[in-house]
Amino acid sequence: MNLIDRDQIVAALKRLGQLALADGESLRLVVVGGAAMVLGYDARQATHDVDAIVLPPPDTFVVRDWARKVAAEFGWPEDWLNDAAKGFLVGISEGPILLSTPGIEVRQPSAEQLLSMKLCAWRDDVDIQDAERLLTEIAEGIDRNVVWQKILPFLVRGRELKARYALEDLWENTRGGN
């Protein structure tokens, strides 16, 4: 799939809401990953897909059916909306609402939770750039130990050491030794 930009994501999510409304439902999503960085932080222009967690009701299989319809209408792959990032999600924190329109409400987790997900994944330059943006969001005027304490509750079990090393590396590269 080609990259999808902010306007395309918003249009697809609004269409998803229209489909939910037509079925007498209201959809609540929590977006993470690239879509959260595009919609919530303007950290990049586009992403490959929309990683999201569906908050019931409705059931996930119903949402997947709506997502397939949107995919067909937009000429996108059926997995444009997916929950592939759920393995990096520990609970769901309260974050800002990114989109609220009839049939759908889309929010993101807190910046602390998104940063913890990026540090646990720490796969490529995109994760590093996203983590830099998130660190800027939460670390103003506080030291790295306070940042660590803020993200600690959201770290994936077994990835704490990787995340700690990633944070240390990120901190050194963006803020120096302090």
pLDDT score, position 177: 67
Q: Render the burial of 7-20: b for 16+ CB within 10 Å, e for the rest.
A: ebbbebbbbbbbbb
The phi, psi pair for 61, rounded to 5°, reads -65, -30
User: Is 25 found in the same domain as 69?
Assistant: yes
What pLDDT shows up at residue 176? 81
Three-class SS state of 25: coil
Which residue type sits at 45?
Q
pLDDT of residue 178: 59
57 and 132 in a single domain? The answer is no
Q: What is the DSSP letter of 74?
A: H
Given 61, 84, 109, the domain boundary residue is 109
Alpha helix (H) residue ranges in the chain = 6-22, 33-41, 60-74, 111-121, 125-138, 144-151, 160-175
Cα(first)–Cα(last) distance of the chain, in Å? Answer: 42
Query: What global pTM score does this model have?
Result: 0.92
Work out the angle between the directed axes of helices 33-41 and 111-121 (0-180°, nearest 10): 140
- Do 44 and 131 lie in one domain? The reply is no
Task: Report the pLDDT value the prediction gives residue 127, as an integer from 0 to 100.
Answer: 87
pLDDT digits (tens, 9 = 90+) for 93-116: 989 999 999 999 999 999 999 999
The tokens 């444009």 sit on which residue? 80
Average pLDDT over residues 33-52: 94
Q: Which domain holds residue 165?
A: 112-175
Residues 78 and 39 in one domain: yes
Q: For the residues 137-153, what does the mean pLDDT come to? A: 94
What's the pLDDT at 175? Answer: 87
Same-domain pairing of 66 and 14? yes
Give the pLDDT of residue 124: 83
pLDDT for residue 151: 97
pLDDT tens for residues 78-92?
999 999 998 899 999
